[in-house]
């Protein structure tokens, strides 16, 4: 029995972290090239939800107004989610078209309020600390012009400032590679808050405790839309400098993700195309089950499986050594152990305390 539990746990971990991506690459053969940018630009409402972002909001407004997009076809809306600082005034001074000063209700409700005021033919969203490349909006808008089935499109964010102990940049490049292949075959299983867009007809109000990143792609696929990755739509964000800070960030993110996973219907296959259901199982369900699979493998290896036990203890030892010895293999081991543990910590936080709708900026990202 212990042998079966051990090898099943190891196989599932290997599949979700490595095998799934390799099979996607074989099936997709070649990630679809980005479609041509639209010749007749639609009116785009670019929405930035901001909580206590006085340090970066003026730069964000300037970044948006510098995009390669006709100014009269861009509506920039800053939705200030409470905070009591100078975010709203600095956004106005920098040239935002509309600044909403809202009571604290969380990022999703701030976005909802901005959508209610938006006039655009396309809704684009960004974080206050994300910098877009000049051509990012043109690339992001292109799939909507080419394919009427596209309801959601997500660009790619790269993390800058990788001089610390955090190895998020390595993981994120692999994650973007996987999402590109998911998009080529069917639809992405998640997005990111730095750079994405939605058709107004496809926009849905979701539970304010969860983010658009996880909730919108799956919800829209279930409703018959496609959710695509746009490799040419690029943005950058400042990375959390330490792996301990990344642990705290991912713990907070998972506290917001678990309501969608457990009660929000993410793992319910009804309404998904078969290929997409398999993607959600492989990329989401098994990824979030990783802490449990590791515990099962460890418990099973205690019973007459010394080699498997040694491998797991070796991983933990490498992670511990990464505290003092800053070499890439040890830092990667520490990153993997802490971020896997953060999934379980986020579940604990949600079950014990619930999940608030509000959020705070991660350490060192502003």
Contacts of residue 293, defined as CB under 8 A and 6 or more positions apart, other chains included, come to 9, 12, 13, 286
Give me the pLDDT at residue 326, please.
86
Report pTM: 0.92
- In the chain, DSSP assigns E strands to 44-50, 74-81, 98-102, 122-126, 131-132, 150-160, 196-198, 226-238
> How confident is the model at residue 161, as a pLDDT?
77
* Model pLDDT, residue 35: 57
pLDDT in single tens digits along all 366 residues of the chain: 778 899 999 999 999 999 999 999 998 776 555 556 666 799 999 999 999 999 999 999 999 999 999 999 999 999 999 878 999 999 999 999 999 999 999 999 999 999 999 999 999 999 999 999 999 999 999 999 999 999 999 999 998 876 677 888 889 999 999 999 999 999 999 999 999 999 999 999 999 988 899 999 999 999 999 999 999 999 999 888 888 988 999 999 999 999 999 988 899 999 999 999 999 999 999 999 999 999 999 999 987 788 989 999 999 999 999 888 888 899 999 999 999 999 999 999 999 988 877 766 666 556
The C-alpha atoms of residue 117 and residue 101 are separated, in whole angstroms, by: 13
Count other Cβ atoms within 10 Å, centred on residue 208: 20
For residue 2 the two structure tokens come to 């212990």
Q: What is residue 245's three-state secondary structure? A: helix
**pLDDT at res. 32:** 55
The residues pairing with 78 across neighbouring beta strands, listed in sequence order, are: 48, 99
Could you write out the DSSP letters of every residue in 14-64? Answer: HIIIIIHHHHHHHHHSSPPPPPPPPSSPPPEEEEEEESS-TTTHHHHHHHH
Coil, strand or helix at 153? strand
What does the pLDDT read at residue 37?
60
Domains (ranges, CATH) in the chain?
A: 44-240 (3.90.550.10)
| pLDDT score recorded for residue 166 | 81
């Amino acid at each position: 029995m212990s042998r079966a539990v051990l090898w099943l746990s190891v196989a599932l971990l290997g599949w979700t972290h490595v095998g799934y991506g390799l099979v996607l690459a074989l099936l997709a053969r070649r990630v679809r090239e980005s479609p041509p940018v639209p010749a007749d630009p639609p009116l785009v409402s670019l929405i930035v939800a901001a909580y206590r972002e006085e340090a970066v909001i003026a730069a964000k407004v300037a970044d948006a107004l510098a995009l390669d997009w006709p100014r009269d076809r861009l509506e920039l809306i800053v939705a200030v989610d409470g905070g009591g600082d100078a975010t709203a005034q600095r956004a106005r001074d920098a040239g935002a078209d509309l600044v909403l000063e809202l009571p604290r209700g969380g990022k999703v409700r701030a976005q909802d309020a901005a959508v209610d005021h938006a006039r655009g033919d396309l809704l684009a969203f960004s974080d206050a600390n994300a910098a877009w490349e000049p051509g990012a909006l043109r690339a992001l808008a292109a799939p909507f012009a080419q394919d009427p089935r596209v309801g959601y499109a997500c660009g790619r964010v790269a993390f800058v400032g990788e001089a610390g102990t955090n190895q998020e940049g390595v993981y994120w490049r692999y994650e973007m590679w996987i999402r590109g292949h998911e998009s080529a075959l069917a639809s992405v299983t998640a997005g990111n808050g730095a750079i994405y867009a939605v058709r107004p007809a496809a926009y849905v109000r979701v539970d304010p405790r969860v983010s658009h990143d996880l909730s919108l792609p799956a919800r829209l696929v279930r409703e018959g839309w496609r959710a695509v990755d746009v490799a040419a739509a690029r943005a950058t964000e400042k990375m959390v400098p330490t792996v301990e800070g990344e642990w705290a960030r991912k713990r907070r993110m998972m506290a917001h993700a678990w309501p969608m996973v457990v009660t929000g219907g993410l793992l319910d296959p009804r309404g998904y195309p078969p290929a997409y259901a398999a993607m959600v199982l492989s990329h989401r369900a098994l990824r979030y089950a990783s802490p449990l699979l590791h515990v099962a493998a460890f418990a099973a290896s205690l019973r007459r499986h010394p080699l498997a036990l040694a491998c797991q203890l070796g991983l933990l030892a490498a992670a511990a050594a990464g505290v003092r010895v800053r070499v890439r293999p040890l830092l990667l081991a520490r990153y993997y152990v802490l971020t896997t543990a953060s999934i379980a910590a986020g579940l604990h936080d949600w079950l014990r305390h619930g999940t608030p709708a509000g959020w705070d900026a991660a350490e060192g990202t502003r």
